[in-house]
Amino acid sequence: RACPLLRSLASRFVEGAHAKLWESASDLGDGQGGGNPQEVRPGVAWADFGVTDDVVASSGLPARSATAVVSSTSPVCMRPRDRRTSADGSTTKLVFELRDGHRVETVVMRHEGRTTVCVSSQVGCQMGCAFCATGTMPIVGDLDAAEIVEQLLHAHAMEVAAGRPPVRNAVFMGMGEPLNNYAAVIAALRTMTDNACLGKFHLPASRVTVSTVGVVPRMLQLAVDAPSVNLALSLHAPTQELREKIVPSAKQTPLEDLLHALDEHTAACRRHTPTSVAAMVEYVLLAGVNDSDECALELGKLTAPRSRDVMVNLIPYNSGATAVEGGFRPPDHATVERFQQIVASQGVFVRVRREMGRDIAGACGQLALATSGNGDAAAEQPKATTDLEDFVDWRRKQPREAKAAVHKDCAALVAGAPSAKADTSWTPRLTVGLGIAVAAASAAGLLLWVKRRR
């Protein structure tokens, strides 16, 4: 009975009430490349949604409780505190203050023909990945389902207000490990993908992706609870030894167990088209750490047997995404291209992620609340990296002959390397089976010939 009310609230929020939470773009200081953001209005009331006591009571609450809800609560969970848009206009980072005063970040990315929102599921993260700014923060707490869903609605509202198409995709790749906040994430997924709850602003499950660094029991459970949702596994290293160095939580999860959970998920996944992949393997490229030819060969060996179900997403490291002494560096474009081609030459679909929002600390691995309490983000924000050309743009400019030479060299390297050991245990059984079948067919043919001769 609450779904019609929720659907009405979502529609009114996106198409009108949301504006009351933000100052106009000029007042907010939504400058290109990260202007000087200002604080926003304190919030909205139920009256801003056109909701009365009677409307709330229609959802099933007693009249006295409905009156208490309208008079003493807010229809929204979060207060917007900051908004910054990248210089090219492709990315906007939003900072929200939760009811307990803690803050989280949400990123809206505009690609050609689609818009994606990257939502957070926790304040901080306990996984401690060395190359991720969020991983250097302590875990403070979990978001509830409403706080996760509201990030999607804020993104919808911002795009609609600007005359752009609403959000088409959602990825759980913001702050936190989603599968460590499993109950809230599952509840949020069900609401985000339910037309009865969000109406025209819901998303098909096939356009929602949940990323995890590898919480094996929850990966297995996700395949049962949300088989239509996409899974992204943050692998980042092709061997157990190397993975433990850059992903501390890997010490509790053997690589074999992780890949088994990935296989179980892909087997249970409901693909929205026959050729759709069931999962994505994410791999952050760190110069001199995991970007060698050997790493590319090993990654190919792991993913080639799963090439029908899995694609590899390479992510060049974003500078400023860690507080580790000495830090990391992104590999040069030529190294990224070579790594991609070595993996692809083993029959794996590989894509290099286009990095967006680096100049506002909104790119992959950079979310660490680089905004001070007074709203001035400039002092704490990582140094802008607008001088770095995106790999995808760089590769488009390369001569066809140069691309062909790299591909040929990498294919030759793969051809000369030991391949992953194939499962040939079926060969003797098949040989014996074929021999029996041939003998039986010959005997049957001989008997038929004898009968005809008689």
Closest CA to 53 of 67, 32, 64, 74: 67
Nearest CA-CA partner of 209 in 119, 135, 131: 119
The pair of three-digit structure tokens given for residue 69, joined into one six-digit string: 């809800």
Name residue 196's amino acid.
A
What is the rounded CA–CA span in Å between residue 451 and residue 7? 78
- With tokens 């250097």, the residue in question is 136
- 262 contacts 306 by C-beta, under 8 angstroms: yes
Q: Which helix (H) or strand (E) holds 75?
A: none
Question: What value does the CA radius of gyration of the chain take, rounded to a whole number of Å?
Answer: 26
Cα–Cα dist 298/81, whole Å: 44
Element (H or E) spanning 103, and its range? strand 103-111
Bridge pairing between strands 169-172 and 141-142: unpaired
Q: Can you tell me the distance from the alpha carbon of 117 to that of 311, in angstroms, rounded to the nearest whole number?
A: 21
Strands 141-142 and 122-123: antiparallel
Give the C-alpha separation, 102 to 397, whole Å: 44
Half-sphere exposure of 176 (CA within 13 A, CB side): 27
Report how far residue 376's alpha carbon sits from residue 442's, in angstroms, rounded to the nearest whole number.
86
User: What is the widest separation between alpha-carbon atoms in the chain?
Assistant: 105
* Cα within 13 Å of Cα(107), Cβ side: 28
The sign one gets for the Cα dihedral 338, 344, 348, 350 is: positive
Active site residues: 105, 364
Q: Which helix (H) or strand (E) holds 122?
A: strand 122-123
Strands 310-316 and 279-285 come out as parallel
DSSP state of 96: E
Beta strand 350-352 with 310-316: parallel, antiparallel or unpaired?
A: parallel
Phi, psi of 362 (to 5 degrees): -115, 10
The single-letter code of the amino acid at 15 is E
User: Measured between alpha carbons, how far is 452 from 454 in angstroms, rounded to an integer?
Assistant: 5
